[in-house]
């Protein structure tokens, strides 16, 4: 007799990720039908990626930390500090390679210091990263209160590097064909996405992040070095914040003391919408990627609906975040009761 093969049920991570992806595509499809306009053009998707490449990178790092049961609210401030530091360095005759190393160095420094305080001295992550946020914001202001525009020939070449796809473009009102444009920062964000995906799925360290976030006591019994693993999560998050700062500078071409203001909140929202739980142990970078796109789509819908006042975006973002948190709670509670 042939034995029936039963498919294994989706894990919590896979289920929440699938829900996010379905909601994003449904939301975007409805926008194409009822709002039309830019939603019918491929460039709309390209613009969402171009404008949010740095947010995607930061969200990847925050997802790693949250999977491990931690939190980092300094990522936006670190991104801002990287931008201002690199702008001033380039304007004083520095090299592009030097600015890249500076961005990575600043990100790593915050990751190492905050990771050490949290992992080895057992200080609460919120307190440590709150102090890091204030320090980074304050130091950014010390560097320059006034906006600074990059005036560097080598950097301009890098900033203007982009992929143009003519057949995915559109015809403007004046009859000119505008090709679809993807900035270099998007490819950097996608590379980071692939590397983090591989880390979490196929590398021992990535599986350890899930273990310490799910149950720290069980992780210790399995022989996982909890302190080192948690330290590595903050180290990687800091490194990604540094990369995010450089990508942000490539997109804007300028530095400002208010750069990336609120990015940490948007990154947390993107991770939660993508299915990452604040309690740890559940999350996926694919969900985070679509969580970022979902968050951006909500803002695009608000603007396309004629609600141009900035508070409407905040209200809809808050409402959507509450909706996803409630949805996660209901789904996971039902699955838990079903298993029992």
83-94, pLDDT tens digit by residue? 999 999 999 999
Whole-angstrom Cα distance, residue 177 to residue 23?
32
> Are 34 and 303 contacting, i.e. CB atoms less than 8 angstroms apart?
no
pLDDT at position 337 over 80:
no
Query: What is residue 327's predicted lDDT score, i.e. its pLDDT?
Result: 83
Mean pLDDT rounded to a whole number for the chain: 91
**Averaged pLDDT for residues 97-119:** 98
Tokens of 13: 């991570």
pLDDT classification of 340: cutoffs 50, 70, 90: low
Average pLDDT over residues 281-298: 94
Examine the pLDDT at 4 and tell me if it is beyond 60: no
Q: Spell out the SS3 assignment of 148-159.
A: EECCCHHHHHHH
- For the chain, helix, strand, coil in percent to 5 are 70, 5, 20
**More confident site: 15 or 79:** 79
pLDDT category, 339, cuts 50, 70, 90?
low
Q: Which residue has the higher pLDDT, 48 or 334?
A: 48
Does the pLDDT value for residue 329 go beyond 80? Answer: yes
Evaluate if residue 8 carries a pLDDT over 80. no
Q: Is the pLDDT of residue 104 over 60?
A: yes
What values do phi and psi take at 165, rounded to 5? -115, 100
Q: Please name the fold of domain 41-322.
A: ABC transporter involved in vitamin B12 uptake, BtuC (1.10.3470)
Asked if 173 contacts 285 with a C-beta cutoff of 8 angstroms, the reply is no
Does residue 232 register a pLDDT over 90?
Answer: yes
Three-state DSSP state, 169: strand
Closest alpha carbon to 207 in 336, 71, 64, 70: 64
Q: Averaged over 281-310, what is the pLDDT?
A: 90
Number of neighbouring beta carbons within 10 Å of residue 104: 17
> What's the rounded Cα separation, in Å, for the pair 192 and 50?
15
What is the per-residue pLDDT across 124-179, written as a single tens digit (0 to 9) for each?
A: 999 999 999 999 999 999 998 888 999 999 999 999 999 999 888 877 777 777 88
* pLDDT exceeds 90 at position 330: no
Q: What pLDDT shows up at residue 324? A: 86
User: Could you identify the residue written with the tokens 């909890």?
Assistant: 226
Residue 256, phi then psi, degrees to nearest 5 = -150, 150
Mean per-residue pLDDT for 193-198?
A: 98
**108 membership: H or E segment, kind and range:** helix 96-119
pLDDT in tens, 26-41: 999 999 998 887 898 8
Q: Burial letters for 302-322: b for 16+ Cβ neighbours within 10 Å, e otherwise?
A: bebeeeeeeeebeebbeebbe
- Give the global pTM: 0.94
Q: Where are the domains of the chain?
A: 41-322
* Stretch 284-297: mean pLDDT: 95
pLDDT for residue 1: 44
Q: What pLDDT digit, counting tens, does each position of 181-191 carry?
A: 999 999 999 99
Least confident of 1-5, 53-57, 149-153: 1-5
| CA 337 to centroid of chain Cα atoms | 32
Residues 35, 200 contacting (CB under 8 angstroms)? no
Cα distance between residue 188 and residue 161, in whole Å: 12
In DSSP terms, 149 is beta-bridged to: 254
Least confident range from 134-138, 231-235, 285-289, 330-334: namely 330-334
Dump pLDDT digits (tens) for 252-267. 999 888 888 889 999 9
- What percentage of residues in the chain have a pLDDT greater than 90? 70
Three-class DSSP category at 101: helix
Query: Exposed, middle or buried: residue 213 (CB in 10 Å: 0-12, 13-18, 19+)?
Result: buried
Tell me what the mean pLDDT of segment 301-328 comes to. Answer: 84
Say if CB 91 and CB 152 are below 8 A apart: yes
How big is the chain by its Cα radius of gyration, in Å? Answer: 21
C-alpha 135/C-alpha 110 separation (Å) is 10
Among 229, 196, 203, 199, residue whose Cα is nearest residue 214: 229
* H helix and E strand count, the chain: 13, 4
237 has pLDDT over 90: yes
């Amino acid at each position: 007799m042939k034995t029936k093969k039963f498919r294994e049920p989706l894990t919590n991570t896979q289920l929440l990720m699938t829900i996010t992806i379905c909601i994003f595509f449904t939301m975007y499809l409805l926008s194409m039908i009822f709002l039309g306009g830019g939603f019918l053009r491929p460039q709309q998707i390209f613009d969402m990626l171009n404008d949010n490449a740095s947010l995607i990178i930061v969200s990847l790092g925050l997802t790693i930390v949250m999977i491990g049961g931690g939190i980092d609210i300094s990522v936006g401030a670190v991104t801002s500090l990287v931008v201002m530091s690199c702008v001033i360095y380039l304007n004083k005759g520095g090299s592009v390679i030097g600015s890249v190393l500076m961005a990575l160095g600043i990100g790593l420094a915050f990751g190492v210091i905050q990771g050490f305080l949290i992992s080895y001295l057992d200080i609460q992550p919120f307190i440590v990263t709150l102090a890091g946020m204030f320090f980074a914001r304050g130091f950014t202001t010390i560097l320059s209160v006034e906006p600074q525009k990059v005036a560097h020939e080598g950097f301009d070449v890098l900033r203007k590097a982009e992929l143009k796809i003519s057949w995915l473009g559109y015809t403007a009102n004046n009859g000119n064909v505008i090709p679809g444009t993807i900035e270099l920062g998007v490819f950097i964000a996608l590379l980071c996405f692939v590397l983090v995906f591989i880390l979490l799925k196929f590398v021992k360290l990535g599986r350890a992040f899930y273990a310490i976030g799910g149950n720290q006591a069980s992780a210790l019994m399995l022989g996982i070095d909890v302190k080192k693993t948690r330290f590595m999560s903050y180290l990687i998050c800091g490194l990604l914040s540094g990369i995010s700062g450089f990508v942000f500078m490539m997109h804007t071409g300028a530095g400002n003391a208010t750069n990336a203001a609120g990015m940490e909140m948007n990154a947390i929202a993107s991770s939660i919408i993508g299915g990452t739980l604040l309690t740890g142990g559940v999350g996926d970078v694919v969900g985070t990627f679509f969580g970022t796109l979902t968050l951006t789509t909500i803002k695009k819908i608000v603007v396309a609906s004629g609600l141009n006042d900035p508070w409407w975006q905040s209200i809809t973002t808050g409402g959507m975040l509450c909706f996803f948190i409630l949805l996660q709670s209901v789904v996971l509670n039902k699955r838990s009761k079903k298993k029992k």
